[in-house]
Copies of this chain bind each other. A is one copy, B any other.
Amino acid sequence: MYRSHTCGELNASHIGKKVTLAGWVQKIRNKGFMIWVDVRDRYGVTQLIFDEERSARELMEKAGNLAREFVIQIEGEVIERESKNPNMPTGDIEVLVQELQILNPSITPPFTIEDATDGGEDLRMKFRYLDIRRNPVKNKLVFRHKVAMQVRNYLSQKGFIEVETPYLIKSTPEGARDFVVPSRMNEGQFYALPQSPQTFKQLLMVGGMDKYFQIVKCFRDEDLRADRQPEFTQIDCEMAFVEQEDILNIFEGLTRHLLKEIKGMEVEKFPRMTYAEAMQKYGNDKPDIRFGMEFADLNEVAQNKGFRVFDEQELVVGIAVPGAASFTRKEIDKLIEWVKRPQIGANGLVWAKYNEDGTLKSSVDKFYSEENLKEWADKTGAKAGDLILVMAGDAEKTRTQLSALRMYLGNELGLRKADEFAPLWVLDFPLLEWDEETKRYHAMHHPFTSPKKEDIPLLETNPGEVRANAYDLVLNGNEIGGGSIRIHDKETQSKMFDFLGFTHEEAKEQFGFLMDAFQYGAPPHGGIAFGFDRLVAILGGQESIRDFIAFPKNNAGRDVMIDAPAKLDEQQLDELHLKLKL
């Protein structure tokens, strides 16, 4: 037994006890006649004391030679601390050391293993195993485990079966790029790593598994953007004999369970919003509804008042920024500069202050009376003290720009509170999206997503308006889950394939075994998949997923700790029947 207690559990009730602890040296305070050492493990930190008057000389010497991150084991007596530390669970006591063993020395670590470290991102990634010793990282991994356990407990209790689907599957030309795996035994052939277990979960439904889930790694060989990982984790779920409402209920239940068990929060029934409504009110299909600032169409009240900039545009749209009437000219100019950045691409921003004294003042006073501005305030819901911001242009583009500004302001004004959780269902996504390149419609989700029954006739006349039985679960402005009810009948399916321009042969080539399977009695089914990395990060009150992943890759898809990917030797390539072509 290396230890009788962990470094996090001793308190006043242990005073007088003999204990054995093991852990890492966190901090040393050496006054010569007295040496204090903080020893750390996963569970906490305990203060050790070596005292000239009470400790043997060899022991004092040994303690004097300790350095940060040495692994030690000590035996000693728990004593009351003179100056207690109420911020530490073990702060009432210290351990008077009687024996000290150095289990392993350490060279000086490249950064300090403290909550606030001096190590930069790159260094911490290279020495990730040291970074994990730090509370901020370690706690996130422990947190992730807890969320995963709660997910499994909830779903299992609801009758879901976790089924492991294969990782070595077949490459499909659809969607993002696959990572592939050359087969040595099947010369010239490749497996692919799954982008998601979509096909397999549908096959499990055909197989009568009824309720399936899996917390599973997925792989996508995309050019990486910030905060994307080539391998990521998904909570993948599918149910048979269900309609959309059944799915929404179960997974609203899951999310509510997590918020309760993990965050101690009781949440009301989740609000629901159609895709069309989300786009209109927030310019965004994953709106953060923690702060108002809903869009107001101002065409009616802002056009035809002589201000040509507005008159010519498809849409004039505004938001009320709470309490921002006090913004200085400089602050407002900064906002204008911000929306003009190429990433946003707006032409400008019109503003109107609804002052605390009830007066209204705008950047376009020449064209609009206070009475006019009052109409803007009514539409945007601005109250005294608020700032109204208005943009104009093509409807879709302008809404997107105003959405970006809204989110920017939400962050700047501290309205996106990490400890507040506002889930939201976004429903009725479009079934199809127009692709400018190929000049045709593509399935927005995938070709097995079912259209709303009442919209099927629109396929012939207004395909872009056909709504799908597809839904997203949005949390604090992030899409954390998305799914759909699948097509399970042949007639609708072949109508879809026809519409998407697949010949029977092409459909068979790409979705062959799933279509084959569907001939043998496919039940009505649907599902959802949650981005687990993102879900955990958001529940943890963070924007970045990276620290919730034990060993993440950088933006070039490299693991800088182990230095992967790397070259293979010739022999390995030969065995795989491959040659490099550089």
Please give, as numbers and ranges, the residues of chain B lying within 8 Å of A577 by CB-CB distance: 580-582
In the complex, whether A59 has a CB less than 8 A from a CB of chain B is no
In the complex, whether A558 has a CB less than 8 A from a CB of chain B is yes
Please provide the chain A residues from 506 to 536 with a CB less than 8 Å away from any CB of chain B in the complex: 513, 517-524
- Binary per-residue interface labels of chain A (127-146) against chain B in the complex, 1 for a CB within 8 Å, 0 otherwise: 11111110000100110110
Interchain CB contact under 8 A, A579 and B582: no
Shortest beta-carbon distance, A578 to chain B, in Å? 6
Please provide the chain A residues from 259 to 289 with a CB less than 8 Å away from any CB of chain B in the complex: none
Interchain CB contact under 8 A, A520 and B107: yes
Shortest beta-carbon distance, A65 to chain B, in Å? 14
Interchain CB contact under 8 A, A179 and B171: no
Interchain CB contact under 8 A, A177 and B562: no
Q: Known contacts being A179-B181, A550-B163, A550-B204, is A168 close to B133, with CB within 8 Å?
A: no
In the complex, whether A85 has a CB less than 8 A from a CB of chain B is no
Q: Known contacts being A521-B69, A521-B105, is A181 close to B183, with CB within 8 Å?
A: no
In the complex, whether A27 has a CB less than 8 A from a CB of chain B is no
Please give, as numbers and ranges, the residues of chain B lying within 8 Å of A368 by CB-CB distance: none
Looking at the complex, which one of B129, B144, B191, B199 makes contact with A206 (CB distance below 8 Å)?
B129
Shortest beta-carbon distance, A1 to chain B, in Å? 7
Q: Known contacts being A182-B182, A246-B1, A565-B183, is A104 close to B163, with CB within 8 Å?
A: no
**How many angstroms from the CA of A203 to the CA of B550 in the assembled complex?**
11
Copies, count: 2
> Chain B: which residue is nearest A138 at the CB level?
B208
Looking at the complex, which one of B145, B166, B203 makes contact with A163 (CB distance below 8 Å)?
B145
> Chain B: which residue is nearest A68 at the CB level?
B521
Chain A's interface size range is 35 or more
Interchain CB contact under 8 A, B170 and A179: no
In the complex, whether A566 has a CB less than 8 A from a CB of chain B is yes
Please give, as numbers and ranges, the residues of chain B lying within 8 Å of A522 by CB-CB distance: 71, 104
Q: Known contacts being A133-B207, A207-B130, is A170 close to B217, with CB within 8 Å?
A: no
Shortest beta-carbon distance, A240 to chain B, in Å? 8
Interchain CB contact under 8 A, B564 and A103: no
Please give, as numbers and ranges, the residues of chain B lying within 8 Å of A127 by CB-CB distance: 520
In the complex, whether A500 has a CB less than 8 A from a CB of chain B is no
- Binary per-residue interface labels of chain A (570-582) against chain B in the complex, 1 for a CB within 8 Å, 0 otherwise: 0011111111111
In the complex, whether A556 has a CB less than 8 A from a CB of chain B is yes
Q: Known contacts being A148-B162, A578-B580, is A169 close to B243, with CB within 8 Å?
A: no
**Interface centre among A177, A521, A549, A559, by most B CB within 10 Å?**
A521
Interchain CB contact under 8 A, A186 and B129: no
In the complex, whether A109 has a CB less than 8 A from a CB of chain B is yes
In the complex, whether A374 has a CB less than 8 A from a CB of chain B is no
Interchain CB contact under 8 A, A141 and B42: no
Interchain CB contact under 8 A, B171 and A566: yes
Interchain CB contact under 8 A, B208 and A24: yes
Q: Known contacts being A186-B565, A550-B165, A565-B191, is A242 close to B2, with CB within 8 Å?
A: yes
Shortest beta-carbon distance, A128 to chain B, in Å? 8
- Binary per-residue interface labels of chain A (485-513) against chain B in the complex, 1 for a CB within 8 Å, 0 otherwise: 00011100000000000000000000001
Q: Known contacts being A184-B221, A191-B564, is A129 close to B203, with CB within 8 Å?
A: yes
Closest 8 A/B residue pairs (Cβ) = A132-B207, A106-B521, A170-B564, A189-B565, A2-B241, A42-B210, A183-B565, A129-B207
> What are 6 A-B pairs with beta-carbon distances under 8 A?
A71-B523, A106-B520, A149-B152, A188-B567, A192-B564, A578-B581
Q: List chain A positions with a Cβ less than 8 A from chain B.
A: 1-3, 22, 24, 40-43, 69-71, 103-107, 109, 127-133, 138, 141-142, 144-145, 148-149, 152, 156, 161-171, 173, 177, 179-193, 199-200, 203-204, 206-211, 217, 219, 221, 223-224, 230-231, 233, 241-243, 246, 488-490, 513, 517-524, 549-551, 553, 556-559, 561-569, 572-582
